[in-house]
Structure 1
Amino acid sequence: MKKTSKTPGANEALERMAEMEMTFIRPLGAFGAAMADAWLDLCDEWTGFVTGRLRQDVRTANDMLQCRNPADLPKIQSAFFQKALDEYQEEANRMNTVIQKASRDIASGNAQDAA
């Protein structure tokens, strides 16, 4: 049912407001949904990474506690730091991939499909 008003020009103003809502406001909702999805993807990725790193920290601490030869400690530490460095670099690449996908989805209008 179309709204009508007794005030002259009010109907035209309501129609323009409806046009503006369709043109400007609704896409913002889709953008927000896409950003929320991207944020959840980033959180999921980071949580998995941190969990894996904590497990590796515990393993390394255990290896160091079990070490009976002091000459092996630098090897354990070196392997730990090299693996950490590699994994942080890989994680940065995965996070970048998530961000790029979100950017492409938003730019291509897939965000509107999500709303």
Structure 2
Amino acid sequence: MGKPKKTKTDADIATPAFASAMMAVSPVATKAWLDVLSESTRFVADRLQQDLDIQKAMLACKNPTELLQVQTEFFQKAIEQYTDEAKRLFEMMSKATEDTIKDVQSGHSREYNDVPL
């Protein structure tokens, strides 16, 4: 008796089809979307590493005053980083929207005197 065959799920089939459809419609929009996803992934990975580092620092504290200082610095830095990331993503999305609109617009404009009377 052979191994059971793995069947493709709707998600397996739909994901490449969706990506292909997006590329066919607007490669500029697809690139922008991938850039935003890449930036978000980078930020989350960086924040997770910092969260692990802060846990080590908190465990090394010898008294509540040290712990409070470490936590205060951590939260101030985290708020600043999340604010900067939100601004960065907003700028990326704004530029992506502008680029997509430019890509979609045709290069053919009509002149006033090309309309037959």
Structure-1 separation of matches of 2:45 and 2:76: 18
Among 92, 102, 109, the residue aligned to 1:108: 102
Give the aligned partner of residue 34 of structure 2. Answer: 40
Give the aligned partner of residue 75 of structure 1. Answer: 69
Q: Specify the code of the residue in structure 2 equivalent to 1:76.
A: V
Residue 69 of structure 1, CA deviation: 2.1
Q: Specify the code of the residue in structure 1 equivalent to 2:37.
A: C
Residue 32 of structure 1, CA deviation: 3.0
Q: Give unpaired runs (5+ residues) of structure 1.
A: 1-27
Task: Point out which structure has higher relative CO (alpha carbons under 8 A, 6+ apart).
Answer: 1
User: 1:50 and 2:44 equivalent?
Assistant: yes
Structure-1 separation of matches of 2:36 and 2:105: 17
8 Å CA contact retained: 2:26, 2:100: no
User: 1:90 and 2:51 equivalent?
Assistant: no
The alignment partner of 2:26 has SS state of helix
Structure-1 separation of matches of 2:92 and 2:83: 15
Equivalent pairs, count? 85
Say which structure is richer in helix: 1
TM-score, normalising length from structure 1?
A: 0.66
8 Å CA contact retained: 2:28, 2:103: no
TM-score, normalising length from structure 2?
A: 0.65
Q: C-alpha root-mean-square deviation of aligned residues, in Å?
A: 2.2
Q: Specify the code of the residue in structure 2 equivalent to 1:103.
A: T
Structure-1 separation of matches of 2:42 and 2:31: 17
8 Å CA contact retained: 1:49, 1:91: yes
Percent identity reads 38
1:18-48 deviation per Cα after TM superposition (whole angstroms, max 9, x unaligned): xxxxxxxxxx866532221111011110011
Q: Give unpaired runs (5+ residues) of structure 2.
A: 1-21, 107-117
